[in-house]
Amino acid sequence: MNVPFKTVPATGAKIPAIGFGTFGSDHISNDQMAQAVVLALKAGYRHIDCAQVYGNERQIGAVLGDAMAGRIEGLGPIAREDLWITGKLWNDKHAKVDVGPAFRESLQDLGLDYLDLYLVHWPFPNYHPPKCDVDARSPNARPYIHEEFMETWRELEKLVDAGLVRHIGTSNITRAKLDLLLRDCRIRPAVQEMELHPHFQQQEFVRYVQDQDIVVIGYCPLGSPNRPERDRVPTDTVDMEDPVVMEIAQAHGCHPAAVCLKWAAANGHIPIPLSTKERNIVSNLAAVCEDPLTDDEYLRLRKIDRNCRLIKGQVFLWEEAGGWEDLWDLDGTIPCPPRYVRK
Ligand SMILES: NC(=O)c1ccc[n+]([C@@H]2O[C@H](COP(=O)([O-])OP(=O)(O)OC[C@H]3O[C@@H](n4cnc5c(N)ncnc54)[C@H](OP(=O)(O)O)[C@@H]3O)[C@@H](O)[C@H]2O)c1
């Protein structure tokens, strides 16, 4: 399958227009995820979305090593430059002294000598124990503090200077925070990763980010149907059961999942679906490589947005915060109670 590429405006680099997600949450073991990455590479994916907090970089690194050495049966050796590997800095490693070591640990676990992209996973240094209650609030949690974020960002810039990472970027950042970063950075973010699926399109923000020459990667592109119970609320909607998605799937003779991915491709962003099943891995890739949506289908899908954010981030809330909306600067301002303001 010929996987299309997008050009990263910041560098002219080519990034595969579909990536493979690797967040196994509670239900996919690290070894199962490694096996899924083998299937993905065999299917033709070359863009793998990793993160230290997913806890499986060592197992994925072993697969990448095997793939580059030509040790995977039925798959010739893959050159390093043909892979696009993304890593992410977890929230407990934002301190200036922690960024470099956390990055190097990921690099070592992944068995690589550079990453294609390194993202700040969340713009908050807020750490919570794995699998903690969704309503738990860590006493050390704090809101976004721009000066602190810039200290973290400057460490990422140094990784670019050192030739250890080709691009740096943001994840889960809002327009208000992005504007501050663009104002103060030396090296601009090349990529923003954010939740995007037909029921959560963030149209205005996506256009804004793209107008800044920043590539948009969309996570939970299928609406994360198997996410854990703790990440579900009764008002959540199901993209793949939307009548318009189902009707367009029927017209294309494909699964509704494929329609979600075709919508992402037509929308100009890069989806990073996860699957553990060979059939789905292959059909997801095919969805962005062949049989695109018509203009009319794309426009119909644009109208089914429900503003349904699935990954709300409640566990990152600080003591005085109201609800999860406080993480997303919905009125364009960044909430920061006085006690957190740096004198
Ligand atoms: N930056 C961030 O903060 C952030 C946050 C969340 C996620 N992510 C990234 O985004 C990736 C994708 O998000 P996600 O895994 O939550 O959600 P997703 O890709 O929307 O959905 C994945 C689920 O959909 C099922 N699926 C896949 N293909 C299918 C198909 N063709 N038909 C039917 N079901 C299908 C999979 O089950 P099967 O295994 O049964 O196929 C899997 O459980 C993550 O893995 C991670 O890499 C990033």
Cα(195) to ligand 1 centroid in Å equals 11
199 inside domain: yes
**E-assigned strand segments in the chain:** 5-7, 14-16, 20-21, 47-49, 84-89, 115-120, 165-171, 191-195, 215-219, 270-271
Q: Which atom of ligand 1 is the closest one to the Cα of 119? A: 1
296 inside domain: yes
Backbone angles phi, psi at 183, to 5 degrees: -70, -35
Query: At 288, is the secondary structure helix, strand, or coil?
Result: helix
Nearest CA to ligand 1 atom 36: 275
Q: What angle do CA 143, 213, 268 make, to 5 degrees?
A: 95
| Measured distance CA(131)–CA(139) in Å, rounded | 17
Range of the domain at 21: 15-223+235-330
338 inside domain: no
67 inside domain: yes
| Measured distance CA(334)–CA(19) in Å, rounded | 31
Using CB distances shorter than 6 Å, the residues near ligand 1 are: 21-23, 49, 121, 171-172, 193, 219-227, 255, 257, 272-277, 280, 283-284, 311
CATH, residue 301: 3.20.20.100
Q: Would you write out the chain's pLDDT as a tens digit for each of its 343 residues?
A: 889 999 999 999 999 999 999 999 889 999 999 999 999 999 999 999 999 999 999 999 999 999 999 999 999 999 999 999 999 999 999 999 999 999 999 999 999 999 999 999 999 998 877 777 777 888 889 999 999 999 999 999 999 999 999 999 999 999 999 999 999 999 999 999 999 999 999 999 999 999 999 999 999 999 999 998 888 999 999 999 999 999 999 999 999 999 999 999 999 999 999 999 999 999 999 999 999 999 999 999 999 999 999 999 999 999 889 999 999 999 999 998 888 877 6
171 inside domain: yes
99 inside domain: yes
340 inside domain: no
Cα(179) to ligand 1 centroid in Å equals 29
Nearest CA to ligand 1 atom 43: 226
> Pairing relation of β-strands 191-195 and 270-271?
unpaired
Cα(20) to ligand 1 centroid in Å equals 9
117 inside domain: yes
Judge whether 298 counts as a catalytic residue: no
